[in-house]
Structure formats: C-alpha cells, structure tokens
Amino acid sequence: METLLYEASLQGNVTTLQMLLQKDPLILDKVTLNQHDDMPLHVASMLGHIDFINEILTRKPKLSMECDSQRRLPLHIASAKGHVDIVKALVSANPDACGARDRDGMNPLHLAAVNGRYEVVKELVQAQPHVARAMVQKETILHLCVKHNQLEVLKLLIEEIVGDHEFVNTKDVDGNNLLHLAVADKQIETINLLLLDTKIEVNASNNNGETLKDILDQGPRDHVKDKQIKRALERAGVVEADHESLLRQVPKKSISKMGSSDLTKNDVSWIEKKKETMMIVAGLIATMAFTAGVTPPGGVWQDTEEPVMGVNATNGHTAGYAIIATDRASEYHAFLICNTVGFVSTLSIILLLISGLPFLRSRVFVWILLVIMWIGTVFMSLTYVISIVALTPDVTSDTFLHTIFGIVFVWLILGVLLVVGHTITLIKFLCKKSSCCS
C-alpha cells in the first residue's frame, strides 16, 4: 500500500489516494514516521499536484509540518519550485510553516528568493512579513538575493522594507554590505537599484578595511562594466579610500609615533610586500647557514686517531669533528664566525617579523630589516668564499684568487649601493613627513 501511495503522489492521483485511505485511514501517518524524502506531501509539493495536496490537507492538515531528512517542510519544497497555489494551500493549513528552518537554516522565503520565485516571495511576505528579517549565517535575505543575482526579488523585498535603513545596511560575516557584494560581482543593475532606491552607506568598509572602490579595483577587469560602476559610484558620492580603514588596523600607540603619512594605501602595500619577501629570503638563508654549520666544508672525521710523536708526527683527530678544524684551524674559525653571523642575523629578521609588534609598519623598521638582511647575505657570501678556498687545492693561484675575490667585491659594491639607495629614499620620506607634520 505504501508503494501505491508513493506512485499516487508521483502522478497526483486523488482517486488512488482516496481508495488507500478507505482501506487504511492511518496510512499517511505511517509513511511519515521515518521522515523519508518520499513522503506523499513532499513529493506532490515538488511536482505541483495541487488537488492531491488539497485532499491530504483536508484530511490531515498537521502533515504540512512534517520534516524530511533535511528538515524541509512541504512548504520549503513548493517555495523553491515556485508552485504558488500549493504555497497558498500550505500556508493556509499552517501559517507557522513560513518560519520553519531547514538544516541549512533557511526558511521557505529564503529558498524562494535564491531561486527567483517572485510570486512565491510576494505571497509569503504578505502572509508572514516578519520571516523576511530572519538571518541565515549572519546574512539577510537581501544578501542572498545579491549573491544569487535575483534582481526582481530584491526589488520586491526592498519595496516591502522601505524605510528600514538598518536592515538594508546590515553587514555579513565578512563585513560586506549589499553594495560590496554587488560591486564585487559587477551587478550594474543591482548597484543602480541600491544607490537610487535605498539609503545604503556608500562609503562603508568591510572587515578588511576595503571600500567599494578597493573591491572594484581588486576584482577581474571588465573595462566597460568598471567604467559604468565607477560613474555610478561617483554620482552617489563614493570617495577614494582614505586613511580611516587602514588606521583601524594599526594600534593607536603606533599611529601617534609614526604619523598618518606613514599609512597611505601604497605605503602599507609596499611595507607588507617587503616583509613577505624578507621572510622568505631570511628563511632560505637561515636554512643554508644551519646546513653549512652542521656539515662544514670537507666534512667530518669518520674515525679517531691518537697524536703521534717523532719523525712521522701527526696531530691526531676525533671522529665527528670537522676536518677543516684540524687541518686549517684559522680558516675554520673565519668560516664559523661568518656562518654564525649570517645565521643569527636572518633568525633575528624572522623573529621580528613574527612578533607582531606595532612598530613593524614603519618604513624605518623596514629599512633596519633591509640592513640586517644585507649583513646576513654578506656574511653568507664570505662563508661561501672561505668554503671554496678550503676545498680548493691550489688556492695560491693568482687567477683563482682574482676571480673569486673580484666577483665577491663586485657583489659587495652592489649590496652597498642598494643599502645607500634605500637610505636616501628613507631620508627623503622622513623629510617629507616632517614637512607635512609641520
């Protein structure tokens, strides 16, 4: 009988339904016990069999509140499918169904909105206006309309809540209002609707401090749409991103020290890129220095030999000790000093960058990091030279010495020029800052 009932719900066969109810008046109640997805009222709501549904609601109106495995009521399914007559019948049978939420937290109105069911949205809003204000994971139904590009439904809902500026300006979990979402997706008609028919905040920023123009600039390029959107935003009074959003991301104490001119958008971007680059390079150099320290040039002794006195005297050695430390002690000491300086300097950079201290956003601090990085790279270069000298048999060759030291000298000059260049840039920046402050 349950199989016959399922087939009747697929076909919308009211005659078969009546026959089955005559044989077993409880058959509808029995099939709802396990909350399967093939319950008659759910199946008929999906397929649009209004007469079949009316027959069930006349006999068992409470079945309209039975959930399936996804906690969906028949009204959820009918709303998503856009069956207006069935929506009316289900709402009439139990108006409370309008506020019921499925497993994703969505009520029937939410599903109708994201699927663009205009007439269903209109019916549900008229029946239970308060359900339009229910939030889904910190998103309003207006957010859902913009995200799913349902312009007509959005117009209808804005008309229904006209005057509620707080609801229109509600932000999602990322701090985006409706305009942020519309600009990110380049929905020109939606942007015009929001700018003309609502009092939405046009200069609001999201949790990342991004304004509408920031979001537009960061998105994929579409010159035609971008031009139209920029024109619409300018007419609405959208201004260029000022320091406000960036200042909110920096502790107040550091702001007072460094000044607002340190915190332009380009400065912050430059500082962050430099810090990311230095973190990567410092990690690489620290790894090289550590490897060189534990595996010195020439390797380590594999056995232990006691010192021998006499004509064939030897100094002896101990297993695990560096060979170069025994044979060329002065060169090993120079190698160890240079390698340690390079290792410690790069570790200092890593430690400072991960500390999160407020002065890390200063250009002066970035310059200091660059100098430390230069010191680390210079001493790692000297470590390389010492290693090559220690591993090369004929180090007294003029050609060898001139080539190696010539290359290193040129490289050192280049490093000095870069440091001097950054120093001059920093001085100019500080001078400009002091003149602006005065």
Sequential pLDDT tens for the chain (438 residues): 888 998 999 999 999 999 999 999 988 888 888 767 789 999 999 999 999 999 999 999 999 999 998 999 999 999 999 999 999 999 999 999 999 999 999 999 999 999 999 999 999 999 999 999 999 989 999 999 999 999 999 999 998 876 688 899 999 999 999 999 999 999 999 999 999 888 889 888 898 888 888 888 887 888 889 899 999 988 888 876 544 444 444 444 443 444 434 445 555 666 677 777 778 888 888 888 888 888 887 777 787 777 666 555 566 677 778 777 777 777 788 888 888 888 888 888 888 777 766 555 566 777 777 788 888 888 888 888 777 777 776 655 556 666 766 777 777 787 777 777 767 876 776 676 665 555
Which residue has 């220690």 as its token pair?
Answer: 390
Q: Count CB neighbours of 239 within 10 A.
A: 12
Q: Where are the beta strands (DSSP E) in 10-132?
A: none
Amino acid at 35: Q
CA atoms of 262 and 250, how far apart (whole Å): 11
Q: Where in the chain is the domain with CATH 1.25.40.20?
A: 2-253
DSSP states of 349-370 as a string? HHHHHHH--GGGG-HHHHHHHH
- DSSP, collapsed to helix, strand or coil, labels residue 308 as strand
- DSSP, collapsed to helix, strand or coil, labels residue 11 as helix
Q: What's the CATH number for 2-253?
A: 1.25.40.20
Q: Count CB neighbours of 121 within 10 A.
A: 30
The CA-atom distances, in angstroms, between 46 and each of 42, 81, 113, 343, 406 are: 6, 7, 17, 68, 82
What backbone torsions phi and psi does residue 241 show, to the nearest 5 degrees?
-60, 125
What backbone torsions phi and psi does residue 264 show, to the nearest 5 degrees?
-70, 160
What is the gyration radius of the CA atoms in the chain, in angstroms? 37
Cβ–Cβ < 8 Å for 130, 138: no
CA atoms of 357 and 349, how far apart (whole Å): 13
Contacts of 304 (CB under 8 A, 6+ apart): 316, 317, 318, 319
Amino acid at 243: H
Cβ–Cβ < 8 Å for 157, 124: no
Under DSSP, the state recorded for 342 is H
* Closest listed residue to residue 64, CA positions, set 84, 34, 88: 88
Which pair of tokens denotes residue 251?
């502790």
Which pair of tokens denotes residue 281?
């390079």
Q: Count CB neighbours of 242 within 10 A.
A: 14
What backbone torsions phi and psi does residue 239 show, to the nearest 5 degrees?
-105, 165
What is the number of alpha carbons within 13 Å of residue 415 lying toward its C-beta? 18
